Amino acid sequence: MNASGVVVPRRLRRAVITGGAGFIGSHLCDRLLQRGMRVVCLDNLLTGSIDNVAHLFSNPRFSFRHYDVTEYLYVEDEVDAILHFASPASPVDYAQMPIETLKVGTLGTHKALGLARAKRARFLLASTSEVYGDPEVHPQSEEYWGNVNPVGPRSIYDEAKRAAEAFVMAYHNAHGLDTRIARIFNTFGPRMRRGDGRAVPAFITQALAGEPLTVFGDGSQTRSLCYIDDLVDGLERLLAADCHLPVNLGNPGELTVLELAETIRRLVGGDSPVELRPLPVDDPRRRRPDIARARELLGWSPRVGLEEGLARTVSWWQEGGPHARVDLATAAG
What are the structural domains of the chain?
A: 14-189+226-251+288-303 (3.40.50.720)
Phi, psi of 42 (to 5 degrees): -110, 130
Task: Indicate the burial class of 174 (C-beta count within 10 angstroms; 0-12, 13-18, 19 or more).
Answer: exposed
- The full DSSP string for 207-254 is HHTTPPEEEETTS--EE--EEHHHHHHHHHHHHHS---SEEEES----
- Which of 67, 132, 157, 171 is the catalytic position? 157
Cis ω for the linkage preceding 139 (within 30 of 0): yes
Model pLDDT, residue 282 = 63
Could you tell me the strand order of the sheet in which 38-43 lies? 62-66, 38-43, 14-18, 81-84, 122-128, 179-184, 246-249
> What is the mean pLDDT for each group of 10 consecutive residues in the chain (333 residues)?
44 93 98 97 96 97 97 93 95 91 97 97 97 92 93 92 98 97 97 88 93 90 94 97 96 94 92 85 81 98 96 93 49 37
Virtual CA dihedral for 103, 325, 186, 157, nearest 10 degrees? -20
CB atoms near residue 183 (< 10 Å): 24
- Pairing type for strands 255-256 and 222-223 reads antiparallel
Q: Is the whole-model pTM more than 0.85?
A: yes
Helix (H), strand (E) at residue 41:
strand 38-43
What is residue 86's predicted lDDT score, i.e. its pLDDT?
97
Rounded distance, CA 287 to CA 221, Å? 8
In sequence order, what are the residues at sequence separation of 6 or more whose Cβ sits closer than 8 angstroms to the Cβ of residue 66? Answer: 43, 44, 45, 328
Q: Half-sphere exposure (CA, 13 Å, Cβ side) for 113?
A: 28
**Considering all CA atoms of the chain, what is the largest pairwise distance in Å, rounded to the nearest integer?**
58
- The reply to whether 157 belongs to the active site is yes
Contact 64, 43 (CB under 8 A): yes
- CB–CB of 289/301 below 8 Å? no
